[in-house]
């Protein structure tokens, strides 16, 4: 194929350069130039475009747009269907990102096997593993993946040509899985597979293929610990749906999170367990994250988070211990370190518990990452409990955002959080007295509090200094 003309464009400022360079001439950023194809129009078209400014397209009134409700495909892997917003939208392009080893290939092989069993012709393209390796993985799964067509290839052109052809038994391929986008390359661009230009161009061509042929395309993308420059981040604008597979590789559960979804709500999560037979959906994530709460030690508090539309209970643990060295350490796992610093300051100033001489460790159990401020109250309660070494009530849930003045603020979607807490056997809930619900779900005892010192008084039993 004839080589197309290409330019190098800075991913930071957009400056264009005819040659690759380590540093962008425009903004001075390092290592941001990526190759891009420039479509060169024939001269006749170029003059035509200049004179008439393009050809007019036809418009349609929104109300007259024909709506054909295509049913979604359900894989039967409930958590996967749920995160996508109720199943796979045919013809859409879905990016599944995650760190290496988290289980992306396993998940999509399971999806392929299930779609194949439902009569869809699926093509699994692996650029990372040999056919034998994929076969060995498939044999471990509880699903039967023998019907899935496999292609081990890294050239985008070959891949697309293969996907456009019928599979062995004559059916048209309607599901294409590319594992992974970092290994595919197009011959239109120079540069190794995995660089920004290659990744973007391949993804754009796959998207066009999906829309032109109505094929459903799944693309796997790796992200590195640092976010990864040529990682899926640059692809998020291109695809319809972005799912991130997260979790600690050492734990056996994984969280699949939708961060972009043109066909459903975002921030929905699906929880899976990695077993010997592949990934199995977890029906009740709260029970998994919460564990056994019969003999809780000091420094443990429960909070109810909203993950998309679904409430999840998590345990926050804090440990305040005498510092061994000059500057006390602050270690935060699953919560933002700056948020922890802020809460420590509020606890000191408004709650009268100083951690200035103490090492502080704070952890969200189960490898969850919490961004919501509704966890504030649980964190300070856990910290105070650890400082005085007195456990908090084991079956209590703490719901509240803390202001800098020590005031407890209400949280959103309170009813759903309380309902989940009641379902999981919690008996008490501390929440802002400004937003007390009229009725408590189950036999939950609601304790309205105004300030941080109110909470500390009713739990660890100490007044503000
Ligand atoms: P893999 O899907 O290869 O991860 P990725 O494609 O994201 O890099 O799987 C990662 C891990 O999962 C691997 O260390 C082995 C483990 N695993 C199981 O525990 N059980 C299984 O049934 C399978 C297939 C894999
Ligand atoms: Mg893989």
How many A from CA of 207 to the centre of ligand 2?
21
Q: How many CB atoms within 10 Å of residue 460?
A: 21
Q: Could you tell me which residues come within 8 angstroms of residue 118 by beta carbon, excluding any fewer than 6 positions away?
A: 73, 75
How many A from CA of 231 to the centre of ligand 1?
20
Residues with CB under 6 A from ligand 1: 98, 100-106, 137, 140, 274, 276-278
Task: Provide the pLDDT for residue 229.
Answer: 44
Residue of 106, 124, 244 to test ligand 1 pocket, by largest number of atoms within 8 Å of CB: 106
Residue pair 309/298 in contact by the 8 Å Cβ criterion: no
Whether the full predicted model's pTM is greater than 0.85, yes or no, is no
How many A from CA of 100 to the centre of ligand 2?
7
How many A from CA of 277 to the centre of ligand 1?
10
Calculated CA dihedral for residues 239, 242, 244, 245, nearest 10 degrees:
-80
Q: Which helix (H) or strand (E) holds 177?
A: strand 175-179
Q: Of 179, 105, 107, 112, which is closest to residue 148 (Cα–Cα)?
A: 112
d(CA 147, CA 113): 7
Q: Could you tell me which residues come within 8 angstroms of residue 152 by beta carbon, excluding any fewer than 6 positions away?
A: 125, 126, 127, 129, 130, 131, 134
Q: Going by CA atoms, what residue is nearest to atom 13 of ligand 1?
A: 101
The C-alpha angle 423, 429, 432, rounded to 5 degrees, equals 135
Task: Provide the pLDDT for residue 146.
Answer: 93
Coil, strand or helix: which one is 279? strand
d(CA 101, CA 109): 14
What is the chain's pLDDT, residue by residue, as a tens digit (465 residues)? 556 678 888 777 778 888 888 888 888 888 878 777 776 656 565 555 566 667 888 888 888 887 777 789 999 999 999 999 999 999 999 999 988 888 999 999 999 999 999 999 999 999 999 999 999 999 999 999 999 999 999 999 999 999 999 988 889 999 999 998 999 999 988 878 877 788 888 999 999 999 999 999 999 998 766 554 455 566 888 899 999 988 776 777 889 999 899 998 888 889 999 999 999 999 888 888 887 777 888 999 999 999 888 899 999 999 999 888 788 999 999 999 999 999 999 999 999 999 999 999 999 988 788 989 999 999 999 999 999 999 999 899 999 999 999 999 999 999 999 999 998 889 999 999 998 988 888 889 999 999 999 999 988 886 544
For 317-365, what is the HEC assignment? EEEEEECCCCCCCEEEECCCHHHHHHHHHHHHHHHCCCCCCEEEEEEEH
**In the structure encoding, which two tokens stand for residue 388, read together?**
């005085």
**In the structure encoding, which two tokens stand for residue 250, read together?**
């050492």
d(CA 310, CA 314): 13
Which ligand is nearest to the Cα of residue 104, counting in written order? Answer: 1
Residue of 101, 138, 222 to test ligand 1 pocket, by largest number of atoms within 8 Å of CB: 101
Measured in degrees and rounded to the nearest 5, phi and psi for residue 126 equal -115, 125
Which ligand is nearest to the Cα of residue 107, counting in written order? Answer: 1
**In the structure encoding, which two tokens stand for residue 239, read together?**
């695809």
Q: Going by CA atoms, what residue is nearest to atom 16 of ligand 1?
A: 103
How many A from CA of 103 to the centre of ligand 1?
5
Which ligand is nearest to the Cα of residue 103, counting in written order? Answer: 1
């Amino acid at each position: 194929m004839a080589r197309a003309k290409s330019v190098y464009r800075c991913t930071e400022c957009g400056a264009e350069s005819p040659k690759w360079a380590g540093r962008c001439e425009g903004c001075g950023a390092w290592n941001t130039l990526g190759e891009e194809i420039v479509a060169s129009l024939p001269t006749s078209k170029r003059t035509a475009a200049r004179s008439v400014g393009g050809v007019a397209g036809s418009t349609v009134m929104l109300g007259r747009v024909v709506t054909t409700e295509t049913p979604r495909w359900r894989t039967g892997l409930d958590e996967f269907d749920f995160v996508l917003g109720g199943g796979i939208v045919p013809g859409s392009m879905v990016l599944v990102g995650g760190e290496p080893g988290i289980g992306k290939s396993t998940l999509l092989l399971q999806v392929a096997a299930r779609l194949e069993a439902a009569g869809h012709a699926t093509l699994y393209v692996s650029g990372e593993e040999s056919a034998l390796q994929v076969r060995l993985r498939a044999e471990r799964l509880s699903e039967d993946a023998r019907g899935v067509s496999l292609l081990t290839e890294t050239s985008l052109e070959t891949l697309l040509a293969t996907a456009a052809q019928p599979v062995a038994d004559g059916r048209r391929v309607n599901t294409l899985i590319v594992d992974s986008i970092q290994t595919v390359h197009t011959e239109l661009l120079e540069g190794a597979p995995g660089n920004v230009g290659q990744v973007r161009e391949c993804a754009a061509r796959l998207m066009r293929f999906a829309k032109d042929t109505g094929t459903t395309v799944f693309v796997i993308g790796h992200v590195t610990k640092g976010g990864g420059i040529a990682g899926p981040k640059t692809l998020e604008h291109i695809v319809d749906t972005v799912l991130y597979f997260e979790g600690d590789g050492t734990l056996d559960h994984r969280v699949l999170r939708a961060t972009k979804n043109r066909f459903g709500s975002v921030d929905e999560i699906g929880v899976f367990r990695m077993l010997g037979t592949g990934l199995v959906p977890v029906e009740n994530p709260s029970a998994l994250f919460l564990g056994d709460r019969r003999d809780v030690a000091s420094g443990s508090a429960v909070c109810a988070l909203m993950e998309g539309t679904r409430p999840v209970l998590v345990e926050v643990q804090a440990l305040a211990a005498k510092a061994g060295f000059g500057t006390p350490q602050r270690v935060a796992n699953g919560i933002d370190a700056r948020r922890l610093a802020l809460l420590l300051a509020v606890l000191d100033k408004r709650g009268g518990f100083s951690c200035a001489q103490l090492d502080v460790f704070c952890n969200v159990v189960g490898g969850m990452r919490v961004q919501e401020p509704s966890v504030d109250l649980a964190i300070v309660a856990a910290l105070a409990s650890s400082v005085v070494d007195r456990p908090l009530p084991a079956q209590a849930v703490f719901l509240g955002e803390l202001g800098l003045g020590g005031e407890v603020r209400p949280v959103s979607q309170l009813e759903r959080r309380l309902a989940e807490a009641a379902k999981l056997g919690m008996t008490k809930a501390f929440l802002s007295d400004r937003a007390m619900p009229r009725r408590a779900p189950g036999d939950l005892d609601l304790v309205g509090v105004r300030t941080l010192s109110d909470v500390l008084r009713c739990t660890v039993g100490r007044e503000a200094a």
